């Protein structure tokens, strides 16, 4: 066996077509108008649901975190899915799910846009730590300031009037 699979016959490895990828992404998006919908009552269940949707997109979650008004996810993008397709599926399915959680969530929506940033394997643990400490981090800084900093850090140009909804 090779790495848990059946060992190929001599000479077969050179002829085996493989498409391999390791693409880590840090995804950030907020609730519409940064409304504080992600309460302690729903947060753990929401994160679990999001991880399930990511699995359905063949993408592995390494960490999910955030606060009352936004989500951060570090995930390994599937080789066969496009970023926009994954994000659309995540937001669409989780929005429908949240609305089933009671009258207080009836008007729930995610913002229209999102930010996604590449993460090198060398920075993976630092991003996991960053996502893990979102509640403490936002004791000092609001989401909009954090998001602007992420865009600037990753050299993403943006127009302020189109970033927020």
* Residue 21 or residue 31, greater confidence: 31
pLDDT digits (tens, 9 = 90+) for 68-93: 999 999 999 999 999 999 999 999 99
Please give the backbone phi and psi of residue 159, each rounded to the nearest 5 degrees, phi first. Answer: -110, 115
- Cα four-point dihedral sign 152, 47, 165, 136: negative
Tokens linked to 156: 């993403």
Please give the backbone phi and psi of residue 19, each rounded to the nearest 5 degrees, phi first. Answer: -120, 105
Q: How high does pLDDT run on average in the chain? A: 92
Task: Give yes or no for a contact between 66 and 111, defined as CB atoms under 8 angstroms apart.
Answer: no
The whole-model pTM stands at 0.87
State yes or no: pLDDT of 34 exceeds 70: yes
pLDDT digits (tens, 9 = 90+) for 106-121: 999 999 999 999 999 9
The superfamily (CATH) of domain 23-153 is: Transposase IS200-like (3.30.70.1290)
Q: How many angstroms separate the Cα of 29 from the Cα of each of 43, 66, 80? A: 15, 9, 22
């Amino acid at each position: 066996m090779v790495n848990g699979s059946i060992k190929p016959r001599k000479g077969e490895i050179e002829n085996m077509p493989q498409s391999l990828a390791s693409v880590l992404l840090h995804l950030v998006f907020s609730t519409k108008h940064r409304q504080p919908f992600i309460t302690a009552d729903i947060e753990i269940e929401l994160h679990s649901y999001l991880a399930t949707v990511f699995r359905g997109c063949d993408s592995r979650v390494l960490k999910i975190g955030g606060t009352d008004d936004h989500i951060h996810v570090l995930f390994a993008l599937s080789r066969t899915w496009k970023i926009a397709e994954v994000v659309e599926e995540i937001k669409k399915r989780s929005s429908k799910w949240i609305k089933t959680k009671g009258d207080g969530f009836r008007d729930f929506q995610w913002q229209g846009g999102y930010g996604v940033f590449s993460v090198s394997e060398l920075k993976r643990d630092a991003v996991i730590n960053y996502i893990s400490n979102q509640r403490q981090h936002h004791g000092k800084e609001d989401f909009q300031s954090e998001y602007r900093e992420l865009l600037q850090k990753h050299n993403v140009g943006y127009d302020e009037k189109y970033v927020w909804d």
